[in-house]
Amino acid sequence: MFITQIDETYDKILNMLYDIIINKNLLKIFKSNVSFINGFKNMNEHIIDLREVIKNDIDNILNFKNNVEYILDKIIEYLYIYIFLLYGYYENNNDIFINTIYKLIKNNTKLFDSEYVLQLQICHNNLLKVLKYINDKVEDEYVINLLKNINQKLFENKNINHNIIKIIIFKDIYIKEDKKNIYKILENEELNNAETKFIEIIDVEDNDID
C-alpha cells in the first residue's frame, strides 16, 4: 500500500511542477542555455515552495521522521532532474547540456555530486534516443524496450515533453535504482506499525483484565 502511495506522490509532484511551468509561462526559460541559466533561480524557488506540499503528503503516509526526510530528499532530487531534462529536451548537444548543468550546480556538491551528473548524462542520452524515434522513427535497444511497457499515445499529446521526461525519470532512476531501497524502508515502516498496533491491542487487553 505504502509503495503505491509514494508512486502516486512522485507522479503528482512532477505534474504540479509542470503545471507551474505552463501556467506561469516559464517554458521559454528552457529553450536555450542562456535563458535556462538566467531562469534557474526562479525554478529553484518553485521547487522550494513545493517542498512543503511534498512533506505534507509524505507525513500522511509515513510515521518515522528519518524515512520522511529520505523520501522527501529523493523527490526534491527528482524535481531538479526534471527541470534539467526539460532543458535537455530542447538542447540536443550533450556536451552543451552537461556544461550548462555544471555551471548551475558547481556550488552545491552536497545535492549534485558526480554520480548525479552521470545520471543526468545517461538520462539525457536516452531522452535524445526517444526524440530521434519520435521525429525520425529511428529505433535502438533502449527505445524498443521502452515501447514494450508504455502506451505510445503518450508521445502524441500536447504534453509530450512532460510525458517523456517523467517516463525516463521513472524508468532510468526510480525503478532501476531507488524503488528497491524505498520499498525496504516502507516495508520496515509497515512492520513497525503492525508491531505498534499489536502492543496497543495487548495494552488494551491488559487494561480490560485489570
Band of the pLDDT at 3, cuts 50, 70, 90? low
Higher pLDDT, 194 or 120: 120
Band of the pLDDT at 67, cuts 50, 70, 90? confident
Q: How far apart are CA 126 and CA 112, in angstroms?
A: 20
Higher pLDDT, 156 or 50: 50
Cα–Cα distances in Å, from 8 out to 14, 74, 207? 10, 14, 40
Cα–Cα distances in Å, from 9 out to 6, 36, 59, 142? 5, 27, 11, 26
Q: How many domains does the chain have?
A: 1
Q: How far apart are CA 29 and CA 31, in angstroms?
A: 6
Cα–Cα distances in Å, from 86 out to 13, 62, 67, 128? 15, 30, 29, 12
The predicted structure's pLDDT at residue 25:
95
Q: What is the pTM of this model?
A: 0.84
Range of the domain at 114: 2-209
Which three cell numbers mark 52?
A: 512543503
Q: How far apart are CA 94 and CA 166, in angstroms?
A: 19
Residue 38 scores a pLDDT above 60: yes
The predicted structure's pLDDT at residue 139:
84
